[in-house]
Amino acid sequence: MHWIALPLPAPEAASSGVPAQAHGWWALRFSPRVALLEEGLLVEVDSTARLWGGLPALVRLLRQHCPVPLTGPAPDAGHGQGQATAGTRQHPARGMPPVGASTSSRASASTRARAPAESPHEAACIAQAPTALQALAQLRLLQAGRPLPRRLPHDLPLRTLSDLRPHAADLEHMGCRTWGAVRALPRAGLARRLGAGPLLALDRAWGDVQHLPPWLQAPDCFALEAELPALAESADSLLWSASRLLVALQSWLQARHQGVLALSLAWRHDLRRIDGVDLPEWQSLDVRTAQPAQEMAHLRRLLAERLGRQRLAAPVNRIALRALQTAPWVGDSVSLLPPGPNETPGEPWHQLQERLSARLGTERVQGLRLMADHRPEAMQQWHPLETEKAGAAVRGRGASTRAATPPDARAVLWPTWLVQPPRVLVLQGNRPCLHGPLRLLVGPQRFETAWWESREALEALGALGAAHPESTADAGTAGGAGAAAGGSLPGEAVAGPTRRDYFVAHNQVVGYVWIFRDLQGRWLLHGFYG
């Protein structure tokens, strides 16, 4: 086995309301064998290192994605058998003596050749060893700002092994200050004096006895609550508190290889009644995305826009974040060509739409949706983007919809602008006129569709008549009047079959126009060409 030990957040950061296990979720994307052992995060990478391009590449990825700041000026540290990398001092390891209690030593030439070259500012507080206890001990030394000993694990200090700390003073009086010195003592006498626990810990540290700590697992559903350190009275303070939960959400998504499609942020009011008005205990808002997302910067912007329009009914003392819907995560495609010298990456189109919807309101940001209908006025409909995204999420990603229709090759003859509703043209003899006679250039192009709507309309009318006979009579009279007038005009929400012959016409005054002749022989203007 090969273990990598990384530091956990400082105690003040760990007490932010996020459970301790959530601080290790981010590492599950690199290996399924992750464990929390005291103040260290242990990752077993023996079976997954090759999937990431080898051990040096995996160590760089762990250093890059570790949420604890690792970079900084590194002290003079050696590399032993565990290939530990020294780095900046984060917070003193619990139970470690002060810095300078041990002399420095240099690493062997063979180990230096195996370790990747790093500048002092790139070094990180990451330890590597063949056992979990060795890696944790080396991490404790590095966090205390002390160099690693030359011989590992023999020269590791006593206090780097938790089971030896209660007996460290007695062992030091006996002249034993390292693991190797304790291991060299007679085993039977040491067991009578210290008990079986320290000996078992030493055997596990050397790898003589298998040691598998409880593996960390991400829950099936993400739902976290956190108590606020102070009452939040504005949207900005509420968003700042929610940022901690968003970091945990990102780690959970990466661990389960998922992207979030919808999430809910809720907050609990500190007061139950203001000015005689009862307040709800919780208030919430939902945020949806068009595509699965793992990047929290975009979700934070959406929450900021939504919270900016939200009025807090009372100060908030607790928040909750829940993932409502997720989908399998597919990595972003990378361009084959390198970016140009003046090219800057822009914001994805769907993220801009979502941000505008959150800022202006869902009804003010709409998009076109193609419909399975040959009638020009019904080929597309305007829908709020948020509604369209919700419908697509319910149908599922990649699912084909009945509304989608492939492009028609005849669309090259269709105009840019439609007239709603179509205008009836006057006739001069048998020729349609619009500021003068029109000359027919292309056509006829027949549109005959919606034949099924007549049956559906009759069935609906029959069902209505069975329940309300008087309403049926009125509807029949109105329908007869409409039929006598030549049927419904396009754009009117009246069911029935449609048959039209379309032409491209032209004259010197209006230019090119799109006209059609209906079943009653009328000519109507339906579009202009730009």
Mean pLDDT, consecutive 10-residue stretches, the chain (530 aa), reads 88 64 90 92 92 92 82 38 44 42 35 37 70 93 90 92 90 90 90 89 92 91 90 86 89 91 91 80 88 86 86 88 90 68 68 75 77 77 66 46 54 82 89 90 81 54 46 33 32 57 91 89 88
Give the DSSP letter of residue 126. Answer: B
Give one word for 72, left, alpha or beta, with left for phi > 0 and alpha for psi -120 to 50: left
Complete DSSP assignment for 203-265: HHHHTSS---PPPP---SS-EEEEEEEEEE-SHHHHHHHHHHHHHHHHHHHHHHTEEEEEEEE
At residue 475, the pLDDT reads 32
Residue 445 pairs in a beta bridge with: 502
Encode 328-395 in three state secondary structure: ECCCCCCCCCCCCCCCCCCCCHHHHHHHHHHHHCHHHCEEEEECCCCCHHHCEEEEEHHHHHHHHHHH
Phi, psi of 503 (to 5 degrees): -135, 150
At residue 141, the pLDDT reads 92
CA gap 470, 521 in Å, rounded:
34
At residue 498, the pLDDT reads 74
At residue 273, the pLDDT reads 78
The SS3 call for residue 279 is: coil
Pair of tokens at residue 507: 């004259």
> What's the sign of the alpha-carbon dihedral 205, 207, 210, 215?
positive
At residue 504, the pLDDT reads 93
| CB-based contact 416:526 (threshold 8 Å) | no
> What's the sign of the alpha-carbon dihedral 33, 34, 37, 42?
positive
The SS3 call for residue 447 is: strand
Task: Note the pTM of the prediction, 2 decimals.
Answer: 0.62
At residue 459, the pLDDT reads 58
CA gap 353, 433 in Å, rounded:
43
Q: Which amino acid is at 81?
A: Q
Phi, psi of 520 (to 5 degrees): -85, 5
> What's the sign of the alpha-carbon dihedral 76, 113, 35, 295?
positive
Phi, psi of 442 (to 5 degrees): -130, 135
| CB-based contact 525:425 (threshold 8 Å) | yes
At residue 406, the pLDDT reads 54
At residue 81, the pLDDT reads 43
Number of residues that this document lists for the chain: 530
